[in-house]
Structure 1
Amino acid sequence: MPQHVRGVVARVKGEPVRVETIVVPDPGPDEAVVRVQACGVCHTDLHYREGGINDDFPFLLGHEAAGIVEAVGTGVTDVAPGDFVVLNWRAVCGRCRACRRGRPQYCFDTHNARQRMTLSDGTELSPALGIGAFAEKTLVAAGQCTKVDPAVSPAAAGLLGCGVMAGIGAAINTGGVGRGDTVAVIGCGGVGNAAVVGARLAGAAKIIAVDIDERKLETARTMGATDTVNARDTDPVEAIRRLTNGFGADIVIEAVGRPETYRQAFYARDLAGTVVLVGVPTPDMQLDLPLLDVFGRGGALKSSWYGDCLPSRDFPMLTDLYLQGRLDLDSFVTETITLDEVEDAFARMHKGDVLRSVVIF
């Protein structure tokens, strides 16, 4: 029988979100209903509210979540009621050309639940990133549920569902950071600081954090940055070169998603170095680079989508590191809030006052 729960809905572009009644259907084939325990307030949710992703309003926001599987539909074998899971937004198909070549992290046919959750009047909702977890319960494709050790705090585990995974994966999976490398991270919000953590886990010798907010730079130091650059006062390209003996960094991770910071990343890397774009741009943004410079500097220009992660592989690995005391996910949680406080959390996030607000159910 369909269930009625509370959820955070963005009805109109740019307007404050509201907590409304959501109708969650029983799971169909290959679907699961998850009782959400915690969900992080990610900048992507604000992008949805502002119409920066698409205009399929109304949106059921929230996607960085962990919870307990409550029910599954027919054909589901990988998870069962009672399992503690982190929700992911890339349920791989197992059939496309990437999956058949053994590269499921690049799956070209990821999917979500077939059924739609609705408002009480029957209006269909668009769940953020196919999840919609600012709700007491949500309907997802079963492949979006990744089992992890239930000893992990839900507030910490949920962050692996998006921001932390995106940043760590940008460093380790996409950037290929290795022992002794020099790494620069431009933009030290949640994703950027996760990239700092990823570079540290991979054994980077020097990690340079760049931002215009001294509070974020201080956080980056606690996360493992060896050097910081305040780009409000200093040319970051010159500073990164100065800190790398004039060469530039081996890997530069751009975690802002703006043309001007991407240019900084491009020119702050060493010859044959790598630029990784993990910051999310808006549809109107354009990049202008001299093609001769692209050719002449060599190396690689990469985009990191979800940290090029494979949830079934990476989420359990990272939760194990957390339980071993080697990955401090708790340090990303600035505050815990209720469902009714999401709009206020957006404002604090926009001002840079928090690394992550986490809704606790």
Structure 2
Amino acid sequence: MPQEVRGVVARAKNEPVSVETIVVPDPGPGEIVVAVQTCGVCHTDLHYREGGINDEFPFLLGHEAAGTVETVGEGVTDVEPGDFVVLNWRAVCGRCRACAKGQPQYCFDTHNAAQPMTLTDGTALTPALGIGAFADKTLVHSGQATKVDPSASPAAVGLLGCGVMAGIGAAINTGGVSRGDSVAVIGCGGVGNAAIAGAVLAGATTVIAVDIDPRKLDWARRFGATHVVDSRQGDPVAAIQELTGGNGADVVIDAVGRPETWKQAFYARDLAGTVVLVGVPTPDMKVELPLIDVFSRGGALKSSWYGDCLPSRDFPLLVDLYRQGRLDLDGFVTETVTLDDVEAAFAKMHHGDVLRSVVAL
């Protein structure tokens, strides 16, 4: 039978969220119901509330989640009731042109649950990134749930569902950081610090963190930055070049997503270096620079979408590294809160007071 649970709903653009009763249907073919244990408070949820994604209100927010499979629908074989899973928004189809080329990390037809979750009056909810996990339970496609080691902390590993995976993947998957590389990361919030952690995992020997907030630079040191640059105090491009023998970094990751930070990344790389954009720009932002500078520098200019990850491959690996003490996922959890605290958590995130607030259910 359908279940009534509590969930965080954004009813209208820029209005405070509310905790409401939502209806979760029984899973249909290919679907599962997950009892949510934790869900991180991500900037993307705030973008939904502000109308920055689309206008398909009301939204059921939350997507960086871990929990336990409760029930499964017809045809589900990859997970079963009782499995501990991390949710993701890249449930690959296996049939599109990207999947057919052996590049499922770029799948163009990812799966979501076919049935809607609703308010008690029948109003259909749009789940954030097809997940909607600021709720006691949620309905997703089975491909959106990746089974991982149940001994891992849900608050920590649930963050792989979005921001932490985006940052680690930007360094390892998109940027191709390798042993001995120099890496600079501009913007040291949750995604930027995850990129720093990813660069360290990949064997980078010079890892430069750039930000205007001393607290964030302190966080960056914790995740393995070998050098920090307070860009309020001077030109970060010159600082990165000085720290890399005058050459610029092999890989520069823009975790802010503004024209000025992207141009800093462009000019702070080595002549054949790589720029990775993982920060999310707004639709009105534009970049202008001399085309001869693009031509004369070679290298690569890349965008990283969800860290170019493949959840079935990357989540279990990163959880294993976490359990071995080689990846400090606990360090990203600044505080745990309740569903009633999500609006306050948005304010803390907006002001840069936290790496991640995590809702515990």
Which residue of structure 1 lines up, in the alignment, with residue 47 of structure 2?
Answer: 47
Q: 1:59: Cα distance to partner?
A: 0.8
- Show structure 1 runs of 5+ residues with no match: none
Q: 1:289: Cα distance to partner?
A: 2.2
Which residue of structure 1 lines up, in the alignment, with residue 344 of structure 2?
Answer: 344
Q: 1:260: Cα distance to partner?
A: 1.0
Number of equivalenced pairs: 361
CA distance in structure 2 between the partners assigned to 1:56 and 1:257 by the alignment: 24
- What amino acid is the match of 1:36? V
RMSD (Å) for aligned C-alpha atoms: 0.7
Contact 1:52-1:283 within 8 A present in 2 as well: no
Q: Please give the per-residue CA displacement for 1:46-79, whole angstroms capped at 9, x wherever unaligned.
A: 1111111111111111000000001111111000
Give the 5 Å matches for 1:193-342: 193-342=193-342
CA distance in structure 2 between the partners assigned to 1:60 and 1:319 by the alignment: 27
Q: Please give the per-residue CA displacement for 1:9-28, whole angstroms capped at 9, x wherever unaligned.
A: 11111111111111111111
**2:345 alignment partner, SS class:** helix
CA distance in structure 2 between the partners assigned to 1:359 and 1:211 by the alignment: 27
**Stretch moving more, 283-292 or 130-139:** 283-292
CA distance in structure 2 between the partners assigned to 1:228 and 1:112 by the alignment: 41
- What amino acid is the match of 1:124? A
**Stretch moving more, 208-217 or 116-125:** 116-125
Answering whether residue 41 of structure 2 is matched by residue 58 of structure 1, we say no
Which residue of structure 2 lines up, in the alignment, with residue 143 of structure 1?
Answer: 143
Contact 1:88-1:162 within 8 A present in 2 as well: yes
CA distance in structure 2 between the partners assigned to 1:111 and 1:292 by the alignment: 42
Which residue of structure 1 lines up, in the alignment, with residue 176 of structure 2?
Answer: 176
Give the 5 Å matches for 1:97-108: 97-108=97-108
Contact 1:200-1:207 within 8 A present in 2 as well: yes
Q: What stretches of structure 1 move > 3 A for 4+ residues in a row?
A: none
**1:55 alignment partner, SS class:** coil
CA distance in structure 2 between the partners assigned to 1:286 and 1:140 by the alignment: 36
- What amino acid is the match of 2:48? Y
CA distance in structure 1 between the partners assigned to 2:94 and 2:229 by the alignment: 43
Which residue of structure 2 lines up, in the alignment, with residue 86 of structure 1?
Answer: 86
Q: 1:293: Cα distance to partner?
A: 1.1
CA distance in structure 1 between the partners assigned to 2:234 and 2:76 by the alignment: 54
- What amino acid is the match of 2:58? P
- Show structure 2 runs of 5+ residues with no match: none
Q: 1:121: Cα distance to partner?
A: 1.0
**2:36 alignment partner, SS class:** strand
CA distance in structure 1 between the partners assigned to 2:290 and 2:57 by the alignment: 39
CA distance in structure 2 between the partners assigned to 1:195 and 1:158 by the alignment: 17
Which residue of structure 1 lines up, in the alignment, with residue 69 of structure 2?
Answer: 69
**1:184 alignment partner, SS class:** strand
Answering whether residue 353 of structure 2 is matched by residue 353 of structure 1, we say yes
Q: 1:259: Cα distance to partner?
A: 1.0
**1:9 alignment partner, SS class:** strand
Q: 1:196: Cα distance to partner?
A: 0.2
Contact 1:53-1:282 within 8 A present in 2 as well: no
CA distance in structure 1 between the partners assigned to 2:245 and 2:306 by the alignment: 32
- TM-score, normalised via structure 2 length: 0.99
State the identity %.
Answer: 80
- TM-score, normalised via structure 1 length: 0.99
**1:261 alignment partner, SS class:** helix
Q: 1:2: Cα distance to partner?
A: 0.8
CA distance in structure 1 between the partners assigned to 2:10 and 2:285 by the alignment: 24
CA distance in structure 2 between the partners assigned to 1:232 and 1:164 by the alignment: 26
Give the 5 Å matches for 1:143-162: 143-162=143-162
